Amino acid sequence: MFPVVEERRDYITLALPPLQQQQQQQQKTTTTTSSSSSLLTTIRSWRRRWKQLPRLLRVVLGMVVTAAVVGLIYLTTHTPPSEPPSHLNALSPMENNLTPPPLPPLPPHLPGEREKETQAEESLRRDDHKHQPLLSGQEGADQIVPPPGLPQKRSGRQEAVVAAMKHAWKGYKTYAWGHDHLKPVSRSRNDWLRLGLTLVDALDTLWIMDLKEEFSEAREWISTQLNFNLNQDVNLFETTIRVLGGLLSTYHLTKEQLFLDKAVDLGDRLVAGFNSGSGVPFADVNLYSRRASKPRWGPDSSTSEVTTLQLEFRDLSRVTGKPIYEEKASFVSEHIHKLPKTDGLVPIFINAQTGQWRSHSTITLGARGDSYYEYLLKQWIQTGRTLDYLRDDYNQSVTGMEKHLASHTHPSRLLFFGELHGSTKNFVNKMDELTCYLPGTLALGTHYGMPKHHMDLAQQLMYTCVQTWLRQPTHLAPEITYFNIQPSPNNEDFYVKANDAHYLLRPETIESLWYLYHLTGNTTYQDWGWQLFQGIERYCRVDNGYTSIGNVRSATDTKQKDKMESFFLGETLKYLYLLFMEDQSAFSVDKWVFNTEAHPLPIYNN
């Protein structure tokens, strides 16, 4: 067990000593008696004066008072509501209300859920527990049937999300076409990878939302302008999850060879990133020279980055029949499987030349650690549940999370997962918004037969994540939240430091809401998602798109950051759309596995 920075105390009982209680009671009684006797005297004197007035005057006064009361009642019940901001006009008054109704706590288990878990566990125990041929090996891509029933009739909430997507797209098209990111406030653009990042990340969202015109103009740009022959260092992880993942998923959805050709061209360049002393990839790769290098900021690669390439590279191998991509990426997972861990938990840095941990680095489920855990489970699912070491590592890591990172707040006992810092591995009571992908992953795991109590963890953490949004005046979550595990002066569960108060249009909480709704059918998750979406609409929407903000702690001073991240279109709006979809069968988690950037890829049977 590691030492903790803050002592964990669950309950403090505030009981007054009996004597003090009695004294207070007596004081209360004396005060009440004297104030009620003076009230009686006043009433009697007014009654005397009233009776001394002439009878006619008393009748007239009575009528005037009655008319005033009736008028007051009419006015208070017939005042029209104040105007909502113009961009919310399309929504109904009920939907425009930003004040959250009290949210019912979710039952630990919902109807039907236990049966589902039992069925999944039983199917896992069977000898032939492999997934039935959703796809078989390399010929798989041709067998994928697009999600049934698309386009579907949209719900009202989906229409609102589609309107948001159109607004974001219009701003991007007008001011940043073909560039990585839109700067909606200054009506300009920003380049990072020089790959038309927003356009590629948004492709499958446009297709899923059936935005034909927008999809076809994006397709045209991919066909005529997207060029990977660039003398440009790109981050291997970001380019893989956003661009390679986006192209592959669009290929699977549309069956258009164009997207696969582009994915292969990119994959052939990115695969050079694995050329290191250990096979663990470097952080960066030059797309033209195909030379890999360590990041400018330090000697090591991030653990989450080197372990979050495998779904995409494996898929590329399966659809092309070229094993090289999968071999390179799978080797990294196998290598990391053999490295020492803290009850399944891993440090956030690894050296690409030696293949060893930077052992004094932090353990966290947030930045640089997060998707390592996510891809353990998702790779196992992608391969038809055949690579059991991944499932075992995943299960062990959840045990480690519970043992070393789980804690509860004071006073509301909200579950959160903290971090272990430095070589001493001291517990620190902070959690990134990024960690809010975890409820979704835990829920997905229980659907595939992981221990039932993982679902309890998922539901509890989901509630905490939603609270980090709804307890801010903007209804938007900060990048980092600190949790009080002892009583604090203001008796609040958590607080936010000024430097951590930004919201970057991130999707993780919404992503988890989709998984929990998809797997339980509990519409409270949809209602929560709707409230978060309204925070985005009210505080991030600007004339020419959506902007990240620097301060979620103030509804009047949000400090717009003038940047629309590509994942807002690739992930946030896609998960909102899926969350509000009435027929959840189109993107069933039995058929699709979503990469960490929300790009759906098919599940294979091996």
Q: What does the block give as tokens for 416?
A: 């959160």
Longest CA pairwise span in the chain (Å): 107
Compute the residue count for the chain: 606
3-state SS, residue 142: helix
Q: What stretch of H or E contains 115?
A: helix 113-125
Which residues sit opposite 417 in a β-bridge?
406
Amino acid at position 501, single letter: A
Which of 109, 189, 206 lies closest to 151, judged by CA?
206
Which of 93, 155, 165 lies closest to 537, judged by CA?
165
Asked if residue 596 belongs to a known ligand binding site, the reply is yes
CB of 373 to ligand DMJ, least distance (A): 11
Which residues sit opposite 4 in a β-bridge?
427
Phi then psi dihedrals of residue 181, to 5 deg:
-135, 145
For ligand DMJ, give the closer residue by CB, 141 or 576: 576
Of 214, 326, 508, 562, the catalytic one is: 508
For ligand DMJ, give the closer residue by CB, 419 or 597: 597
For ligand DMJ, give the closer residue by CB, 526 or 572: 572
Which of 499, 492, 580, 493 lies closest to 534, judged by CA?
580
- CA separation for the pair 503, 141 (Å, rounded): 38
Q: Tell whether the torsion through CA atoms of 370, 373, 375 and 378 is positive or negative.
A: negative
For ligand DMJ, give the closer residue by CB, 312 or 508: 508
Of 113, 479, 511, 565, the catalytic one is: 479
Alpha helices of 129-256 — where are they, by DSSP H? 140-143, 156-175, 197-208, 212-224, 236-238, 245-254
**Percent of the chain as helix, strand, coil, to the nearest 5:** 50, 10, 40
Binding to ligand DMJ (CB under 6 A): which residues in 496-555? 506-508
Of 330, 581, 596, 603, which one interacts with ligand DMJ (CB under 6 A)? Answer: 596
Q: How far is CA 178 from CA 132, 193, 197, 199, 270, in A?
A: 41, 12, 8, 7, 21
Cα-based angle 366, 486, 510 (whole degrees, multiple of 5): 35
CB of 122 to ligand DMJ, least distance (A): 33
Decide if 312 is catalytic: no
Kindly state whether residue 371 participates in binding ligand DMJ, applying the rule CB under 6 A. yes
Of 180, 284, 370, 419, the catalytic one is: 370
Decide if 492 is catalytic: no
3-state SS, residue 155: coil
- Taking residues 419 to 438 in sequence order and writing x for each that binds ligand DMJ by CB under 6 A, - otherwise, the string is ---------------x----
Kindly state whether residue 563 participates in binding ligand DMJ, applying the rule CB under 6 A. no
- Taking residues 433 to 472 in sequence order and writing x for each that binds ligand DMJ by CB under 6 A, - otherwise, the string is -x--------------------------------------
Of 169, 215, 530, 567, which one interacts with ligand DMJ (CB under 6 A)? Answer: 567
- Taking residues 568 to 587 in sequence order and writing x for each that binds ligand DMJ by CB under 6 A, - otherwise, the string is ---x----------------
- CA separation for the pair 329, 325 (Å, rounded): 6
CB of 567 to ligand DMJ, least distance (A): 4
CB of 11 to ligand DMJ, least distance (A): 35
Binding to ligand DMJ (CB under 6 A): which residues in 215-274? none
For ligand DMJ, give the closer residue by CB, 425 or 506: 506
For ligand DMJ, give the closer residue by CB, 239 or 464: 239
Kindly state whether residue 303 participates in binding ligand DMJ, applying the rule CB under 6 A. no
CB of 513 to ligand DMJ, least distance (A): 15
Burial letters 455-475, b for 16+ CB under 10 A, else e: bebbbbbbbbbbbbbbebebb
Of 214, 326, 479, 597, which one interacts with ligand DMJ (CB under 6 A)? Answer: 597
Decide if 392 is catalytic: no
Decide if 479 is catalytic: yes
Q: Which residue is nearest to ligand DMJ (CB)?
A: 596
Q: Judged by CB under 6 A, how many residues of this single chain contact ligand DMJ?
A: 9
Annotated binding site for Ca(2+): 596
Positions touching ligand DMJ (CB under 6 A) are 371, 434, 506-508, 567, 571, 596-597
Please give the positions annotated as active site. 238, 370, 479, 508
